[in-house]
Amino acid sequence: MLEHAADFDIRPALRQEMMPHFLCPGCGHGIALRALLWALHELKIDKDRLAVVSGIGCAGRLSAYIDASTFHTTHGRPLAFATGLALARPDLHVVVISGDGDCLAIGGNHLIHACRRNLKITCLMLNNEVYGMTGGQVSPTTSDGMLTTTTPLGNAEPSFDACALATAAGAGFVGREVTHHVPKLKALIKQGLEHPGFAFVEVLSDCTEIFGRKNELGSSSEMILRQKSEIRPSAYRDTVDTPFRSTDLHTGVLTRNDRAEYGGAYRAAAARAKAAEAIKAAAT
């Protein structure tokens, strides 16, 4: 029987010597970390067979708290590092934790090609619509009209739909969930971990201190309740007094296909080449 959230003891999965954590009060990233560790626990994935790769930013810091083999890499490059790791060690469960800026801006090209290759990696992109750690700059997922330190008049650029991008690039599994729905988020991450190819899971996570305060989105509890009522505000303002308006974002599993996994296909091709070479050598 699966545990309820209240019954799952997260502490054995954490490097408790790293506590207290650095996350701001109300940050959704801690909820996302709990959902990931809960999913790993239910799947009984041995921490000695788990490798977690992260980049730079608030999301990138999460790997430091996981009691497993973890890699804190350079900005935008966690998927590049994870690609080499997954190819060299197919026995490992390779998980990438990345933010929306880390994954879609400087790391956008790596994401596209990771989706295209369909290597066995589970990528969690924690989307809080802002560069929260480095000053609150606009990110590729900042909603229309939202205020950041680099968009003081409101963001005029259209935001990326990361899941649509991952689907178009060929990812084997694509899903999205909000941090308000922890059991659903845990279940979605489990499906991503079990998928035999590249799995991309977008987690809509609130930045209460940097993004929320600047856009007057209320307290952390008000922000997370907005996830329940609106899924996620894809909001804009004509003026600062214009009410927020939102468009629906679908959640759950959005794409799943059975394309050949890159690592297995590569090893099979190498084995065929080796066998052909042996036949050729025997004939001479």
Give the pLDDT confidence of 34-43 residue by residue, as tens digits: 999 999 999 9
Residue with token string 């050729």 = 280
How much of the chain, in percent, has pLDDT values that exceed 70? 91
Read off the pLDDT of residues 6-52 as tens digits, 9 standing for 90 and up: 678 999 999 999 999 989 999 999 999 999 999 999 999 999 999 99
What confidence score (pLDDT) does residue 5 get?
61
Decide if pLDDT at 237 tops 50: no
Half-sphere exposure of 221 (CA within 13 A, CB side): 0
pLDDT category, 143, cuts 50, 70, 90? very high
Decide if pLDDT at 275 tops 60: yes
Measured CA to CA, the distance from residue 76 to residue 85 in angstroms comes to 16
Decide if pLDDT at 161 tops 90: yes
| Averaged pLDDT for residues 101-121 | 96
Decide if pLDDT at 146 tops 80: yes
pLDDT category, 250, cuts 50, 70, 90? confident
What confidence score (pLDDT) does residue 4 get?
65
Note whether 127 and 143 are within 8 A (CB). no
Note whether 94 and 148 are within 8 A (CB). no
| Both tokens assigned to 52 | 């977690």
Q: Which helix (H) or strand (E) holds 200?
A: strand 199-204
| Averaged pLDDT for residues 244-256 | 73
* Domains in the chain with CATH codes: 12-259 (3.40.50.970)
Residues 6+ apart with CB under 8 A from 132: 57, 58, 99, 207, 209, 210, 211
| Averaged pLDDT for residues 83-104 | 96
What confidence score (pLDDT) does residue 3 get?
55
How much of the chain, in percent, has pLDDT values that exceed 90? 80
What confidence score (pLDDT) does residue 229 get?
64
Give the pairing type, strands 50-54 and 93-99.
parallel
pLDDT category, 225, cuts 50, 70, 90? confident
Q: How high does pLDDT run on average in the chain?
A: 90
Decide if pLDDT at 109 tops 70: yes
Read off the pLDDT of residues 208-221 as tens digits, 9 standing for 90 and up: 999 999 999 999 88
| Averaged pLDDT for residues 137-156 | 95
Decide if pLDDT at 1 tops 60: no
Cis peptide before 20 (omega within 30 of 0): yes
